[in-house]
Each structure stands twice: as structure tokens, then as C-alpha cells.
Amino acid sequence: MTCYEGWTSCNGVSLLILLILGVALNAVPLIFSLTEEDRFPQNPVSCFEWWFPGIIGAGVMVIPATIMSLAARKRACCNNSVGMFLSSLFSIITVIGAVYCIWVSFLALLEGPLVCNSQGNSTANCQFSFTNLSDIHRESFELQWFLNNSCVIEILSSFNNPTSSDITAQHTIIHFSVFLGLLLVGILEVLFGLSQIIIGFLGCLCGVSKRSRVV
């Protein structure tokens, strides 16, 4: 196995791990909504898990590049110039999906969970439009929902109602943990995707194995 194949194989394994992690993280708030007392989906953690940044962006869109990269381990379809070119091409899709995951996760961290931003914690308050995804308010960068907002005040002032406090705290922690994790997953997928684009292009130009050169 040449350095091109070895690097491609390493990228494939890394993308596979990140793919599984992204899907699992995206599923956490969805499963949490199912396990709460209210009927699904009346009490979601936020609107942004319904954009499926981990399932679609960091998951489905990463599958083609992952499969093609893992094929290098068995010296199969990636063990030729065409295979390396395809792995590089599919990695462009990976980068696009990862950027989508980063963007949605970034907006989710700025906006905070529904329990912090809406009187009615329901998907009825979610506005699913690409215009909404591009709407960023300058004050959002202060992360008021996490550092100095009504969520924190509610948690501190609702000792007489521990159930409400617990739910608010759970939603806040889950939202922050999930989307911070997805943000990191997306960043790593971008790095591995760009790495595979470069190594796949070089492998396509220079060849991938001594055996293929002899033939």
C-alpha cells in the first residue's frame, strides 16, 4: 500500500467515526423529545435538530467519500487513478455537507434551545426556511441564552418548581452539548475532506501503486 492509499484509508476510517458520531449526536435531542411526558413532537429541545445537520450534513453526505476511501484498505476500486479521482470528487460533497452541519450548529448555539427563546416550546414556533438560516442577529454572538439570559434566571429562581427547573436545565445542557459536538464534528470532517481532495488528486496524477505502474 502506497502513501496515497494509506492516507486515503486513514481518512476513510476517520470519516466513518465522525459520520457515526454526527448521526448519534443529532439523534440525542430527538430521542429526548420522545422520552418526555408530552407527546412527540410537542416539546422539542430546539428547532435546529430538525434541520438534521448531523444526519444529513455530517452523515448521509459523507457516506460516498467514506465508502470510496475505505475501499483503499482492500486495494479495491480505490487502487487506481480513477478511484482516487472519485474519492477526491466525493470528498467535495463531504465538505459541503460538513459546512452545512457547521452552519446549522453555529446558528443553534447562537439562538439557544426553545425553552430559552419561546413561550411555547413547540415545533409550531419553528420557521423552516433557508432565509431563516441566514438570519443572524449581532446580539446573538454574546450567547445571552447560555451566559446571562432568562434560562439561567429561570433555573436559579424556580426552586419552588423543581420539575420546571430540571426540564429547563436538561434542555439547555443537551442543546449546548449536542450542537457544540456537531460543530466540532463538522470542522473535523471539513479537514479530512479537504485532505482527501488533495491526496486523491495527487494519487490520480502520480499513480497509486507500483503494481499498477509495472502493468
Q: Which residue has the cell 457547521?
A: 102
List the grid coordinates of 213: 505502474
Kindly report the backbone phi and psi dihedral angles of residue 75, in degrees, each rounded to the nearest multiple of 5, phi listed first: 55, 45
Cα 106 to Cα 94: distance, rounded to the nearest angstrom: 18
Is the pLDDT at 106 greater than 70, yes or no? yes
185 neighbors 25 (Cβ within 8 angstroms): yes
Length of the chain: 215
**Span 73-81, average pLDDT:** 61
Q: Which pLDDT band, with edges at 50, 70 and 90, does 157 fall under?
A: very low
More confident residue, 158 or 34: 34
Position 141 scores a pLDDT of 56
DSSP assignment of 35-62 equals HSSSPTTSS-S-SGGGG-IIIIITTGGG
C-alpha angle 156/176/162, rounded to 5°? 30
Average pLDDT, the chain: 77
Kindly report the backbone phi and psi dihedral angles of residue 14, in degrees, each rounded to the nearest multiple of 5, phi listed first: -65, -45
One-letter amino acid of 158: S
**Span 174-203, average pLDDT:** 93
Cα 176 to Cα 30: distance, rounded to the nearest angstrom: 14
Cα 143 to Cα 153: distance, rounded to the nearest angstrom: 14
Cα 153 to Cα 167: distance, rounded to the nearest angstrom: 14
Position 32 scores a pLDDT of 81
34-38, 164-168, 191-195, 207-211: segment of lowest average pLDDT: 207-211
Look at the alpha carbons of 84, 90, 96, 99 in this order and tell me if their dihedral is positive or negative: negative
**Span 90-103, average pLDDT:** 96
Is the pLDDT at 136 greater than 70, yes or no? no
Is the pLDDT at 174 greater than 80, yes or no? yes
Most confident of 36-40, 60-64, 158-162, 170-174: 60-64
Q: Which pLDDT band, with edges at 50, 70 and 90, does 124 fall under?
A: low
More confident residue, 102 or 142: 102
More confident residue, 132 or 113: 113
**Span 66-86, average pLDDT:** 74
Position 152 scores a pLDDT of 54
Is the pLDDT at 1 greater than 60, yes or no? no
Q: Confirm whether pTM is higher than 0.85.
A: no
